[in-house]
Amino acid sequence: MPNFTDALPPKDQRPSLALVRVKPGKPIQAIVTATNFVGCETHYWHGRTAPCEQPNCEACDDGSPTRFHAYIASWNPATNRSFLLEITRAAADAFDGYRNTYGSLRGCRYSVHRASSNPNSRVIVELHPADEQRFAIPQPPNVIACLCTIWHCSPPEAIAPRLNGNGSTNARRREVLDAIKLANTKGA
């Protein structure tokens, strides 16, 4: 028998942000909210980007090549929208240099675009320190937890210390979500 209700179920609490890639003709301008980027070797496997999970990686075993991506917590002050920018190793160089110069990426105002209409053309990156007085930059998300939500994978032990507990799938899922919430309250 169906269980009808006039109350809404609780909102999905999993941390989630849109993943944005640089597309031709669509420049992106935003401000970095996190102090650092999160890098990860990935595979393009079975039609989607998936993290490389060495030392036990099915995609590696299948002969799929790895590719480094950097994920940058971003906020667009014009739309008040937060998102994760996904860039390749080459485009991440400029952010790495900025971090080395200023000690942190937070507050870095960036503009990225493709050099031509070719979707694989070089990504041009321009970076400037934002005027922090002008922008109330939001707190950063937990980028790793967001990526785990996007990739449908378990968060690493560091942010899900109780992941290996016994119990039903639902109980374990709750444990993971609690661990992510805990990690979020501790900051990214």
Residue 107 beta carbon to Zn ion: minimum distance, rounded to whole angstroms:
34
Site for Zn ion in 97-136 (CB under 5 A): none
Among the listed ranges 29-37, 45-53, 74-82, 125-133, the one in contact with Zn ion (CB under 5 A) is: 45-53
Query: Residues with Cβ < 8 Å from 100, sequence gap 6 or more?
Result: none
Q: Binding of Zn ion at residue 59 (CB under 5 A)? A: yes
How many chain residues touch Zn ion (CB under 5 A)?
Answer: 4
Q: Binding of Zn ion at residue 60 (CB under 5 A)? A: yes
Residue 144 beta carbon to Zn ion: minimum distance, rounded to whole angstroms:
17
Q: Binding of Zn ion at residue 50 (CB under 5 A)? A: no
Residue 53 beta carbon to Zn ion: minimum distance, rounded to whole angstroms:
6
Matching residue, tokens 């210390």: 161
CA dihedral 114, 21, 184, 151 (to 10 degrees): -150
Nearer to Zn ion, 54 or 139 (CB): 54
CB 33 within 8 A of CB 140: yes
Pairing label, strands 81-88, 19-21: parallel
Q: Which of 59, 61, 123 has its CA nearest to residue 89?
A: 123
Q: Binding of Zn ion at residue 57 (CB under 5 A)? A: yes
Residue 140: strand, helix, or coil: coil
Q: Binding of Zn ion at residue 85 (CB under 5 A)? A: no
